[in-house]
Amino acid sequence: MSKKIKVTQIKSAIGRLENQKRTIKALGICKMNKSRIHDDTPVIRGMVETVKHLVKIEEV
């Protein structure tokens, strides 16, 4: 079974760079304090790294 991570948006994407807004949307997070569970893959980790100041990561 693969590891999973829970990604929660903790800050707004308003006024951020366009690539950061697109990354938040690609992660499936559309509102503050909403979470999504993703497989822990290098692709997802790279996306999270791009917006690490806007999200909180937890292992599940």
Q: How many domains, in total, are found in the chain?
A: 1
Name the CA radius of gyration of the chain, rounded. Answer: 11
Q: What pLDDT, in 10s, does the model give residues 42-53?
A: 999 999 999 999
Q: Which two tokens stand for residue 1?
A: 């079974």
What is the pTM (predicted TM-score) of this model? 0.90
Q: What pLDDT, in 10s, does the model give residues 6-44?
A: 999 999 999 999 999 999 999 999 899 999 999 999 999
Single out the residue of 48, 60, 59 nearest to residue 9, CA to CA. 48
- Domain with 19 in it: 4-59
CATH assignment at residue 41: 3.30.1390.20
